[in-house]
Copies of this chain bind each other. A is one copy, B any other.
Amino acid sequence: MFHNVFGKRETVLRLSSGDTIITSTADAHGFDSQMREVAQRPNPLTGPFFVDGAQPGDTLAVDLEKITPNRREGWSSNSIDPSIVDPSFAGALPEKEYVQWQVDAKGRRLILRDQGWKHARLQLPMEPMLGCIGVAPKEGQLLSSMTSAEHGGNMDWRGCREGTRVYLPVFEEGALLYIGDGHAVQSDGEIGGTGVEISMTVRLSVHLLKQKKITWPRAEDSICIYTIGNARPLFQALQHATTEMIRWLADEFQLDTISASILMSQCVRYELANVFDPAYSAVCKLEKTYLSNSGVLD
């Protein structure tokens, strides 16, 4: 069972806080590990997973423990999207076609098959990630798996990889978690409109944070904390992410607005997750070293 919207749909599995699951995702065109077409385009989602006890106003933490391509073939676009270059240059871009990549699982590399590439061989390191992760959106909406908003969605953020914990605001009973749209690798911005699209085996665990309210998705890994804004224009996505970081520093690190401003004005970094989807995704990040008691913030 796959869905092409985030929102209230029949539960596929009930989870309790702390549970770990192993599941799989089809690729963005609906093909699974056996290259069978098992779901409809675009971006079929695995889920929803109902988390017992989750209520609007809570936060769902999702630990991405393992994200592994489960077949040998991925595909990507051969062209940067025309929206992402100067309008006067758009005409010089190729007609969009798909190119194929072979997975060298052992070497954790992707090898471009020969179409359209003038050089002998292009090999890239694999960096598996999930393009889609989200819960049911606010206001009873059903939102397409092509877009993103406060609930997460198709953020196409490279940071949704092994070792990352993603925090999502809960808007519906049970949260209703969905995942999908695995990429074996992807640029910042997903400027081709695709990563190397592939089906995945995913192990994740969920943790319910009761009465913990966040406005936009947050994340952390061993190095950084992250806030994610999803909107157009790009600058608005950045405003959302920046504002959410101020809130986070207040919520959990006891920094008033001046202190957060002083720190952030010298130390934040931004990542552009996607600049292709109907909502763009910008990420504000801060190294945890600035938040520890080890002589920096003490």
Contact = CB atoms under 8 A, between A and B. Distances in A.
A80 B265 contact: yes
Number of identical protomers: 4
A194 to B, nearest CB: 7
A297 B87 contact: no
Given A90-B82, A94-B261, A188-B269, A139 B4 contact: yes
A85 B266 contact: no
A142 B187 contact: no
B257 A94 contact: yes
A196 B266 contact: yes
Contact of A268 (B4, B191, B240, B296): B191
A258 B82 contact: no
Contact of A82 (B88, B117, B271): B88
A295 B267 CA distance: 36
Contacts of A119: 255, 259, 297-298
Q: How large is the interface on A (under 10, 10 to 19, 20 to 34, 35 or more residues)?
A: 35 or more
Nearest to A127: B266
A224 interface: no
B141 A296 contact: no
A54 interface: no
A86 B239 contact: yes
Interface stretch (A20-28, A44-52, A71-79): A71-79
Interface in A226-273: 231-236, 238-240, 242-243, 246, 254-272
A157 to B, nearest CB: 13
Contacts of A261: 77-80, 93-94, 192
A257 B86 contact: no
A260 B196 CA distance: 15
Among the interface residues A193, A236, A258, A266, which one has the most CB atoms of the partner chain B within 10 A? A266
Contacts of A190: 265
A255 B197 CA distance: 23
Given A192-B265, A270-B189, A141 B139 contact: no
B268 A93 contact: no
Nearest to A297: B119
11 contacts: A4-B139, A76-B262, A85-B239, A87-B87, A91-B91, A93-B257, A120-B298, A121-B295, A188-B268, A190-B265, A194-B265
Given A110-B266, A118-B256, 16 more contacts: A76-B262, A79-B265, A80-B260, A80-B265, A85-B239, A89-B243, A116-B258, A121-B295, A140-B142, A187-B269, A188-B268, A189-B270, A191-B265, A192-B261, A192-B265, A233-B235
